[in-house]
Chains A and B, each alone.
Chain A
Amino acid sequence: MAPIRAVPLMGVDARVWRGRLFYGAIVAALAYLIVVPVWRLQSLAFDDGGAGYKSQFGRSDIGDTLRTTVVLALASLAIAMVLGTLLAFAVTRLPHRAGFLRIIPVLPIVMPSVANVVGWAFLLSPGPGYLNALLRQLPWWDHLDSGPVNVYSSTWIIIITGFGLTSFVYLFVSAGMQNISSEHLEAAQSSGSSQLGVFFKVVLPLLRPSLVYGGGVALLLGLGQFTGPLLLGQNEGMKVLTTEMYRRTSESPVNYAAAAAAASPLVILGLLVVFGQRFLLGNQSRFVTHGGKSFAPVGGRSWWAAAFVAGYGLVALVLPLLGVLIVSLSPYWSENLSWDLFTLDNYRKLVDTPGIIESVTTSVGTSLAAVAVCVPVGLAIAMLVVRNQHLKVIRTLGDVISALPLGIPSVIFGVGFLLTYTQPPFILYGTKWVIILVYIVLMIPFATRMQMTALISMGNTYTEASAVSGASPLVTSLRVTLPMLKPAVLSAVALMFILLTHEFAASLMVRSATTQVMGTVLYDHWSNGSYTLVAAMAILMSAVTTAGVAVAMMVGGRNVLDNL
Chain B
Amino acid sequence: MRMKRLAATMAGGLLSVAALAGCGSDSGGGEVAGSWDEILTAADKEGEVVIYGTVAPDNLELLKKAFEKKYPKIKLTYVRGTDADLLPKVEIENQTGRGTADVHMTTDAGWIDRNLDTDSSVDIVGPSFDDEAYDKAKSVIDDKWFLTSATVFGMAWNTDKLPTGIKTPADVLDPALAGGKIGVTNPSGIPTYVDMYRQINDDWGPGFVDKLAAQKPRVYDSAVAVGQAIASGEIWASPTIGSTILTEKANGAPVEFMIPEKPFGVPWYSHVLSSSPHPNAAQVLADFLVTPEGQAAISHDFIPVLPDIEGTGVAGTDVLAQEIPLGDPDELSGDSVAAYQQEWEKKFLG
Please give the residue numbers on chain A whose beta carbons come within 8 Å of chain B beta carbons, in ascending order.
18-19, 22, 59-61, 125-128, 145-146, 150, 152, 234-237, 247, 249-254, 331-335, 354-355, 365-366, 368-370, 372-373, 375-377, 379-380, 383, 418, 422-423, 427, 429-433, 436, 473-474, 477, 512-515, 524, 526-531
Contacts and interface: CB of A to CB of B under 8 A. Distances in A.
6 contacts: A126-B234, A380-B10, A422-B96, A513-B101, A527-B221, A529-B224
B246 interface: no
B134 interface: no
Given A252-B111, A335-B233, A528-B222, 8 more contacts: A60-B342, A332-B231, A365-B20, A430-B96, A430-B100, A431-B24, A432-B22, A524-B80
A432 B21 CA distance: 7
B9 interface: yes
A375 B9 CA distance: 9
B153 to A, nearest CB: 17
A474 B95 CA distance: 52
Nearest to A384: B6
B317 interface: no
Given A237-B348, A334-B232, A376-B9, A354 B16 contact: no
Interface in B83-107: 83-89, 91-93, 95-98, 100-101
Contacts of B95: 422
Contact of B80 (A61, A150, A528): A528
A253 B91 contact: yes
Nearest to B226: A529
B57 A528 contact: yes
A235 B219 CA distance: 4
B100 A146 contact: no
A58 to B, nearest CB: 10
Given A236-B219, A376-B6, A366 B233 contact: no
Contacts of B231: 332
Contact of A253 (B5, B85, B88): B88
B121 to A, nearest CB: 15
B6 A383 contact: yes
Contacts of B6: 22, 376, 379-380, 383
Contacts of B47: none
B180 interface: yes
Counting chain B residues whose Cβ lies within 8 A of the other chain, the interface size class is: 35 or more
Interface string B56-81: 01000000100000000000011111
B26 interface: yes
Contacts of B24: 431-432
B5 A477 contact: yes
Contacts of A526: 225
B96 A429 contact: yes
A430 B228 contact: no
B175 interface: no
A256 to B, nearest CB: 11
Contacts of B342: 59-61
Interface stretch (B181-189, B193-201, B283-291, B308-316): B181-189
A366 B229 CA distance: 34
Contacts of A250: 84-85, 88, 188-189
Contact of B225 (A18, A373, A432, A528): A528
A249 to B, nearest CB: 7
B33 interface: no
Interface string B210-238: 00000000111110111111011111000
Contact of B88 (A249, A354, A370, A379): A249
Nearest to A473: B1
Nearest to A418: B92
Nearest to A358: B77
Contacts of B108: 252
B162 to A, nearest CB: 11
Contacts of B346: 60-61
B50 interface: yes
Contacts of A423: 96
A477 B1 contact: yes
A513 B13 contact: no
Contact of A431 (B9, B23, B221): B23
Contacts of A253: 88, 91, 334
Contacts of B320: none
Contacts of A433: 21, 23
B21 A436 contact: yes
B349 interface: yes
Contacts of B50: 513-514
Given A152-B218, A376-B9, A473-B2, A252 B96 contact: no
Given A61-B350, A237-B219, A332 B253 contact: yes
A152 B220 CA distance: 12
Nearest to B161: A145
10 pairs of A and B residues whose beta carbons are closest in the complex: A237-B349, A529-B228, A529-B225, A252-B87, A372-B16, A127-B234, A376-B10, A513-B79, A369-B17, A376-B9
A249 B84 CA distance: 9
Interface string B1-15: 111011101101110
B88 A366 contact: no
B295 to A, nearest CB: 22
A19 B16 CA distance: 25
B100 A332 contact: no
Nearest to A528: B224
B228 A146 contact: no
A254 B90 CA distance: 11
Nearest to A352: B61
Contact of A369 (B21, B85, B222): B21
Contacts of A60: 342, 346
A530 B226 CA distance: 11
B232 A332 contact: yes
